[in-house]
Structure 1
Amino acid sequence: MRFQILDQWLDWQLQLHTKSIDLGLDRVSEVADRLRIGSIAKQIITVAGTNGKGSTVACYENWLYRAGFSVASYTSPHLLRYNERIKLDMQMVADAPLCEAFEAVDQARKDTSLTYFEFGTLAALWLIQNHQPDYAILEVGLGGRLDAVKIIDADLVHLTSIGIDHQEWLGDSREKIGFEKAGVLRAGVPVVCNDSQPPRSVLDEIERLGCQCLQYQRDFNIVECDEEGKLDWLGSELKFRLTPPLAGIHQRQNLAGVVAGLGLLLPLDRYEPSAVAQNFDGTELAGRFQRLATKLEAEVYIDVGHNHDAAKALAASLSVIKQPSSRIVVLLGMLADKETAKFVAEFEGIVDGWWLLSLNCERGLSADAIERRLDSTVKVEYKFSNVEAMINHALSSLTNQDIILVTGSFVTVELFLQAL
């Protein structure tokens, strides 16, 4: 084996290919053939889109597992440990089998160069195939048409909402981005389009391929009901009363799409309505408007959102929990390819103060660089070179009436969690 330690494998993979992102299917398909990657599970759910992919995967995974099925999932990126990316029956894969999978990929690739994501995707598919679950839920990494996950044929494609992100690789409009995301569709394979106003490019591809499609707010919806904390899912023939398993107003739409997808996979009418609801109980996903218990007096929320639509969803969720006596502060750290000003603008009238964090990583922005991107009306209170300095300041300045949201990037949330 080339390496015995997981971190050594990961460090080596980062240096293996000349580009960190190099979209295309030739390399990964060639190595997958050598690995004999084929039928990795009885049923495959492929999840693509801009926002809500991780939440969608978590809801499918939890529901199916509680319903008695064996499940596997593959997501990216991770927060604290690489192992988070691959779960077999709800459990993160341990270091040893991950190293074994990496060795298998390394042996099969021969002289083929792979990106970090391609290497990890092939390892995940190899592990899932060895597990042979009833359901495998695969999250597309970037786009869809040229993403490594596309080499696996789906039995259900779930498209979350389409927004503007990763423009350098996917295009600068929802139409262009939608075309790339719709690249995971297969002829005749059913689709959940969990976007109430999808780009025309997505609808055209669904029609061209003859896919059965359930679209949010056209074929199904989720609405408030007369029971506090509950929501009614409404389909053409079915109705379920649900408790949202994840925090945040935006999670309602994610939940609605998963119920629609389950209806395409299973005869949901054979399940008691109470069972449909209860199978979502216990769904967890770190870093999605997640409230943390910390040594800070203030309420602390973390969210990995980093684009305009994510900011809009976060602002809506903050507006629900804000009290007249509370002060809301955002600790913001972002990458250079993100639209910082548009992200911050969504919080106008909700956030009372901005704390900026320098990210000392590839594509990371310094706090000064973030400030230069912002409108002069944005109230920047403090700038920090590291999270530890921010936490020390928060300990002395925030009260139990305050709320702090840590957001802007997976990196920002990761640094905060590591410092706690």
Structure 2
Amino acid sequence: MKNHPSNLAEWLAHLETMHPKAIDMGLDRVRQVKQAMTVEFTCPVIIVGGTNGKGSTCAMLESILLRAGYRVGLYTSPHLLHFNERMRINGESASDAELLAAFDKLEAVRGDVSLSYFEFTTLAAIQLFSDAKLDAVIFEVGLGGRLDAVNVLDADVAIVTSIDIDHTEYLGDTREKIGFEKAGIFRSGKAAICGDPVPPASLIEHAEKIGADLWLFNRDFNYSGDKQQWNFSGRGHRRNSLAYPSLRGANQLLNASSVLAALEVLRLRLPVGAQEVRTGLALVDLPGRFQVLPGQPTIVLDVAHNPHAAAALAQNLGNMGFHPYTYAVFGAMQDKDIDGVIAHLKGQVDHWCVTDLPLPRAATAADIRDKLLHAYADLPPAVETERSIRTFATPADAFANALSRAGENDRITVFGSFLTVAGVMEFRHSEHH
């Protein structure tokens, strides 16, 4: 391409159409381009994979390392409102100018190799962070691990947060198959941390086969705690009387423990003091992960989009105290186990506002309504004021309807996809301006 797009919006539109397949598993093309790039990391590289909990784990690592005064790069996906959220340097989203510079450098060496949107942006992040001379870089895996573009990097520490059934068409339909894909980010002789309390045999076997230094929860590290504080113990290192992470939820101590195990591995290269760990955990901020907005009615945003995440959301909602009615704004991708998500949440939700989403692979609101009717078939019929299901064209419409009906002591929970949460965030943003 001789004349590059001149702004970020044009670039992203171009990337959407550059490669014939949106998701094209395999590393050959990415490796080929990376070899042509002049990039290297002398600082530790941390890669985080897993079914759920990747975003929280990355955010905690970033927060603690920033408190300790290190220069940190963080690459995550997808974004909620702005593409720039995917690449952060020192806790700030990259500017358009920084992104364009990285895109241009990459375009200059790409040659005629076709890259998907995610592959191109992953390589651009590697370029950006390499140029920025950082003390630590954290990369979140997009999908799976073994064949994900992020896996062109060799991790000094690789973390797999959890292994559950999701993305079956790419990763297989059992925890054993998925565990093998996730374990693809492990490297021989390097730390491989698994935060899932019941790791599949395939993950352990792969780690042992390649000679990775495997850290298993309950064997190499664990946590204990009471209502006020918690403690971490690793192989040779304890951290006591820690504050709970500001991210709420059932699995956050598992995620935080994996983070502290990673910091134990890196303690000689990136020493971090007790106070920095406490403050880092207390100040983590991650939009859309059981995010409770201030005001009435209570609004909860959660990007939960598979049964494992829905179970955690249901548990968190159950711990919140009494609300007369709960409204759900729910939209999801067609390839998700929507019945499994509904099964976990039907006991918590009275009124469903289900929505179409702006992607061809989204389930329609009508599809979801049918699944809900099926899920509630075993219950006696209820009057409209007690239980309802309505369909909407957009998350904003669904949310506006929930808002118009909810009393000030009720709550609205928005979940099912990044797109559902993003649609509501955009709507609230436009209402406030």
Structure-1-length-normalised TM-score:
0.94
Instruction: Give CA-to-partner distance per residue, 1:166-220, whole Å, 9 cap, x none.
Output: 1110101111011111111111111111011011100101111222222223332
Instruction: Give CA-to-partner distance per residue, 1:355-389, whole Å, 9 cap, x none.
Output: 21111322112210112234524365221112343
Instruction: For residue 107 of structure 2, give the secondary structure of its aligned residue in structure 1.
Output: helix
Tell me by how many angstroms 1:165 deviates: 0.6
**Which one-letter code corresponds to 2:389 in the other structure?**
E
**Which one-letter code corresponds to 1:51 in the other structure?**
N
Mapped partners of 2:154, 2:414: distance in 1: 37
Q: Determine the structure 2 residue equivalent to 1:397.
A: 405
Q: Determine the structure 1 residue equivalent to 2:16.
A: 14
1:5 aligns with 2:7: yes
8 A contact 1:62–1:280 mirrored in 2 = yes
Mapped partners of 2:290, 2:227: distance in 1: 25
RMSD: 1.9
8 A contact 1:340–1:374 mirrored in 2 = no
Mapped partners of 1:262, 1:220: distance in 2: 12
Mapped partners of 1:8, 1:117: distance in 2: 16
8 A contact 2:292–2:298 mirrored in 1 = yes
8 A contact 2:8–2:96 mirrored in 1 = yes
Q: Determine the structure 2 residue equivalent to 1:234.
A: 233
- Between stretches 347-356 and 260-269, larger displacement belongs to 260-269
Mapped partners of 1:146, 1:168: distance in 2: 14
2:366 pairs with one of 355, 365, 368? 368
**Which one-letter code corresponds to 1:305 in the other structure?**
A
Instruction: For residue 87 of structure 1, give the secondary structure of its aligned residue in structure 2.
Output: strand
Instruction: For residue 117 of structure 1, give the secondary structure of its aligned residue in structure 2.
Output: helix
Alignment of 1:14-163 (within 5 A): 14-37=16-39, 39-163=40-164
Mapped partners of 2:271, 2:187: distance in 1: 28
Mapped partners of 1:62, 1:316: distance in 2: 26
Q: Determine the structure 1 residue equivalent to 2:305.
A: 306
8 A contact 1:47–1:139 mirrored in 2 = yes
Q: Determine the structure 1 residue equivalent to 2:222.
A: 221
Tell me by how many angstroms 1:153 deviates: 0.8
Mapped partners of 2:310, 2:134: distance in 1: 36
8 A contact 1:356–1:380 mirrored in 2 = no
2:345 pairs with one of 318, 338, 347? 347
1:416 aligns with 2:424: yes
- For these two proteins, the number of residue pairs brought into alignment is 414
Mapped partners of 1:84, 1:369: distance in 2: 32
Tell me by how many angstroms 1:164 deviates: 0.6
Structure 2: 5+ residue runs without aligned partners?
Answer: 377-386, 429-433
**Which one-letter code corresponds to 1:361 in the other structure?**
L
Instruction: For residue 141 of structure 1, give the secondary structure of its aligned residue in structure 2.
Output: coil
Mapped partners of 1:383, 1:47: distance in 2: 36
Seen in structure 2, the aligned counterparts of structure 1 residues 250 and 327 have a Cα distance that, compared at 3 Å, is farther
8 A contact 1:262–1:268 mirrored in 2 = no
8 A contact 2:234–2:264 mirrored in 1 = no
Seen in structure 2, the aligned counterparts of structure 1 residues 40 and 269 have a Cα distance that, compared at 3 Å, is closer
Q: Determine the structure 2 residue equivalent to 1:187.
A: 188
**Which one-letter code corresponds to 1:317 in the other structure?**
N
8 A contact 1:40–1:130 mirrored in 2 = no
Instruction: For residue 68 of structure 1, give the secondary structure of its aligned residue in structure 2.
Output: coil
Structure 1: 5+ residue runs without aligned partners?
Answer: none
Mapped partners of 1:282, 1:272: distance in 2: 16
Instruction: For residue 223 of structure 2, give the secondary structure of its aligned residue in structure 1.
Output: strand
Instruction: Give CA-to-partner distance per residue, 1:229-287, whole Å, 9 cap, x none.
Output: x2232345513222212122222221121111111111599765344322323211111
Mapped partners of 1:167, 1:377: distance in 2: 23
Seen in structure 2, the aligned counterparts of structure 1 residues 68 and 103 have a Cα distance that, compared at 3 Å, is same
Instruction: Give CA-to-partner distance per residue, 1:278-314, whole Å, 9 cap, x none.
Output: 23232111110011246xx310011111011000110
1:277 aligns with 2:285: no
8 A contact 2:326–2:351 mirrored in 1 = yes
1:386 pairs with one of 394, 413, 429? 394
Mapped partners of 2:86, 2:298: distance in 1: 28
Structure-2-length-normalised TM-score:
0.91
